[in-house]
């Protein structure tokens, strides 16, 4: 093999690309319905943005960034996530001054993380995400979660679960952090090396450790929910209230911490409950990030958003047996016999395409039999056959492939013949 695709990346070939288009189209339409508009930001940003935005104690920053220096000596990074760039654009273009508040945005595009690939995990993957900036209303939280769930349901996913938690505001987090340090510090040597380091850097993440999950200290560890101050508790109650009002079932997981530093108050994930989803069961992750806009250099402004992976979404659809369009099938295949007929076919194919039909013909010198076979393979609804007889009479032989029935249609009437037929079938 001369060349291989870089590790953890993938080509999306015809047959699959149609599924991507469909899924993205559904997501875009729903975003539009909810009042979100698309924003497109660069694939790479200054490294500093992610250090500040994502947090330099996170795994993403510490070991997963594709960072490089350009010829001008600038430190750049292929974006590992979408929120920091969107907030950067929001601040840079002073969109906080827009009369439309909150500003509701969505994006779709590749993200890059230097990770060991496995099922559902890639080095380049596509996230579809939304960010609502400028609202600290718990109803906003509910809307964002509702939109994510709506996208999945619209595509036909049934076996999904919404998991939520609250990290509270800064004061609550600080109080909880202190409680965690107090709880673990006496016996920290009983936990794994990572957790020992986390005690210093980010004790909250200890709760998320899979290795020490069953340790007795975990079960007795102080829950963030017990350290929410009145304001944070009230906020979380409101969020739950709105979700209930919307009829959105959810479960609370006090250990749902999420991997990015900027989260506070509401965090959530949507998981697939279909079989075969291990590490990649998280289809969507999101949360509130009040304070991030300020961190990036803007005014104090709340925000909330989510990001979902298209790869995992497609995997979940596959696991649940949901059929997606494959782009197969054409309206008509024009088969020609002989040189004269070939010329007529070339003209006819173009004419029918101009009339709005999906039409194709032979370009590799197939005989009639092979042309019919090719038409069958292309899932053509009809085949137009042209030979000397047809040319003399200016009447084509038209075969309906499903039934095998043949009729004669004058050349001049072919376009309207097919337009009528295909339109009827499409409805």
Residues 36-65 that bind RNA (CB under 7 A): 58-60, 64
Q: Which of residues 73-92 bind RNA (CB under 7 A)?
A: 81
Which C-beta is closer to RNA: that of 58 or that of 232? 58
Residue 289 binding RNA, by CB under 7 A: no
Of residues 222 through 241, those in contact with RNA by CB under 7 A are none
C-alpha span between 261 and 167 (Å, rounded): 11
By CB under 7 A, name the one of 6, 14, 247, 321 that touches RNA: 6
CB 39 within 8 A of CB 107: yes
Q: For residues 99-158, which are near RNA according to CB under 7 A?
A: 113, 115-123, 125, 127
Distances (CA, A) of 373 to 99, 335, 353, 363, 400: 60, 10, 21, 14, 14
Residues 271, 244, 37, 93: what is their CA dihedral angle, to the nearest 10 degrees? -90
372 binds RNA, rule: CB under 7 A: yes
Query: Angle at CA 8, nearest 5°, toward 213 and 129?
Result: 70
Nearest CA among 32, 287, 282, 249 for reference residue 151: 32
Among 194, 200, 231, 237, binds RNA (CB under 7 A): 194
| Residue (11 or 230) nearer to RNA, CB | 11
Nearer to RNA, 104 or 198 (CB): 198
Tokens describing residue 395: 């009447």
Residue from 217, 254, 319, 401 that binds RNA (CB under 7 A)? 401
Of residues 9 and 416, the one with the C-beta less far from RNA: 9
What residues does 109 pair with on adjacent strands?
A: 127
Closer CB to RNA, 230 or 425, in the complex: 425
What is the number of helices (H) and of strands (E) in the chain? 15, 16
Closest CA to 352 of 315, 391, 380: 380
Residues 179, 409: Cα–Cα separation, whole Å: 83
Nearer to RNA, 259 or 291 (CB): 259
Residue 70: burial class (beta carbons within 10 Å; 0-12, 13-18, 19+): exposed
Interactions with RNA, residue window 154-193 (CB under 7 A): none
Tell me: does residue 68 bind RNA (CB under 7 A).
no
Closer by beta carbon to RNA, 111 or else 228: 111
Contact residue for RNA among 179, 209, 254, 324 (CB under 7 A): 209
Neighbouring-strand partners of residue 266: 166
User: What are the CA-CA distances from residue 98 to residues 33, 42, 285, 290, 333 (Å)?
Assistant: 20, 22, 27, 18, 53
Contacts of RNA in 303-332 (CB under 7 A): 307-309, 311-312
Segment lying near RNA (by CB under 7 A), choices 39-47, 89-97, 152-160, 393-401: 393-401
Q: Is 14 in the site for RNA (CB under 7 A)?
A: no
Output 233 or 366, the one with its CB closest to RNA.
366
Task: Indicate whether 399 belongs to the interface with RNA (CB under 7 A).
Answer: yes
Distance CA 158, CA 319 (A): 11
Residue 389 is a binding residue for RNA (CB under 7 A): yes
Q: Is 263 in the site for RNA (CB under 7 A)?
A: no
How many Cβ atoms are within 10 Å of 184's Cβ, its own excluded? 24
Q: Smaller CB distance to RNA: residue 56 or 237?
A: 56
**CB 53 to RNA: min, Å:** 12
Give the residue carrying structure tokens 């909810």.
34
Q: Tokens at residue 49, please?
A: 């943005």
| Contact with RNA (CB under 7 A) among 150, 240, 258, 288 | 258
């Amino acid at each position: 093999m001369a060349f291989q695709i870089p590790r953890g990346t993938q080509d999306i070939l015809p047959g699959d690309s149609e599924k991507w288009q469909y899924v993205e189209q559904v997501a875009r339409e729903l975003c539009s319905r909810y009042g979100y508009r698309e924003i497109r930001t660069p694939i790479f940003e200054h490294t500093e943005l992610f250090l500040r935005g994502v947090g330099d104690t996170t795994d993403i920053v510490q070991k997963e960034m594709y960072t490089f220096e350009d010829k001008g000596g600038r430190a750049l990074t292929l974006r590992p996530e979408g929120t920091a760039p969107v907030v950067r654009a929001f601040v840079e273009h002073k969109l906080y001054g827009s009369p439309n508040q909150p500003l509701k945005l969505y994006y779709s595009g590749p993200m890059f993380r230097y990770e060991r690939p496995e099922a559902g995990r890639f080095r380049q993957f596509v996230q579809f995400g939304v960010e609502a900036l400028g609202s600290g209303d718990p109803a906003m939280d509910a809307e964002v979660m509702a939109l994510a769930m709506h996208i999945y349901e619209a595509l036909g996913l049934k076996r999904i679960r919404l998991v939520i938690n609250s990290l509270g505001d800064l004061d609550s987090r600080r109080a909880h952090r202190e409680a965690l340090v107090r709880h673990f510090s006496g016996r920290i040597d009983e936990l794994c090396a990572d957790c020992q380091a986390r005690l210093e850097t980010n004790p909250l993440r200890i709760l998320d450790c899979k290795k020490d999950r069953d340790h007795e200290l975990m079960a007795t560890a102080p829950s963030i929910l017990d350290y929410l101050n009145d304001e944070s508790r009230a906020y979380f109650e409101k969020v739950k209230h709105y979700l209930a009002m919307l009829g959105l079932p959810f479960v609370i997981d006090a250990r749902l911490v999420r991997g990015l530093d900027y989260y506070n108050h509401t965090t959530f994930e949507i998981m697939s409950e279909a079989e075969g989803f291990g590490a990649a069961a998280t289809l969507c992750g999101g949360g509130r990030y009040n304070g991030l806009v300020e961190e990036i250099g803007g005014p104090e402004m709340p925000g909330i958003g989510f990001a979902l992976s298209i790869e995992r979404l497609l995997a979940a659809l596959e696991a649940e047996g949901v059929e997606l369009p494959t782009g197969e099938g054409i309206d008509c295949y024009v088969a020609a016999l002989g040189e004269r007929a070939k010329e007529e076919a070339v003209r006819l194919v173009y004419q029918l395409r101009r009339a709005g039909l999906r039409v194709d013909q032979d370009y590799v010198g197939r005989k009639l039999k092979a042309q019919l076979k090719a038409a069958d393979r292309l899932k053509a609804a009809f085949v137009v056959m042209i030979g000397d007889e047809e040319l003399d009479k200016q009447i084509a032989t038209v075969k309906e492939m499903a039934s095998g029935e043949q009729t004669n249609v004058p050349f001049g009437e072919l376009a309207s013949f097919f337009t009528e037929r295909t339109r009827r079938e499409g409805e």
